[in-house]
Amino acid sequence: MRTLDHPSRDEMRLDTVLAALADPVRRTVACKLNDAFGDHACATFELPVSKSTATYHFRTLREAGVIRQEYEGTKIMNTLRKDDLDARFPGLLDAVFAAQDIERAEATAPESRD
C-alpha cells in the first residue's frame, strides 16, 4: 500500500502551519474537516480551483501537518490533525476557525445603512 509522508508533531513548525492556513482555499478545507466527522476523500470537496491546484493545496496542508492523508483503495482520505496541532500550538486552530466564522458572517450579512 502506498503511504504519504507526514511531519511528526515535533516536526510541525508554526510558520509552516500559518502559511498553509493563510490561503483561503486551504483554510476552507481545514474548516470543512473540522466541521465534519471522520475522513473525507479529496473528491468530496467542492473547491473553486482545478483538480491539479486542489492537489497542490492538499499536499501543502499535509506537509505542514494540518491534515493526515491516507490511501483507501484509489481514494485519498483526509483527516484534520486537530489533536496534534492543539498539543503543539494550543488554541491556534480554534482561533483560526473562529476568525473564519466571523469572516463568513460578515460576508453574508446585509450592509448596514446609516
Higher pLDDT, 108 or 49: 49
> How far is Cα 62 from Cα 70, in angstroms, rounded to an integer?
10
Which of 26, 22, 96 has the alpha carbon at shortest distance from 58? 26
> How far is Cα 114 from Cα 98, in angstroms, rounded to an integer?
28
- What CATH class has 9-98? mainly alpha
What pLDDT shows up at residue 112? 55
Residues 20-75: tens digit of each pLDDT = 999 999 999 999 999 887 788 888 888 999 999 999 999 999 999 999 999 988 89
Determine phi and psi for 41, rounding to 5 degrees. Answer: -70, 150
At a CB cut-off of 8 Å and minimum separation 6, what does 72 contact? 39, 41
Beta bridge partners of 62: none
The pTM (predicted TM-score) of the whole model is 0.89
Domain ranges of the chain: 9-98
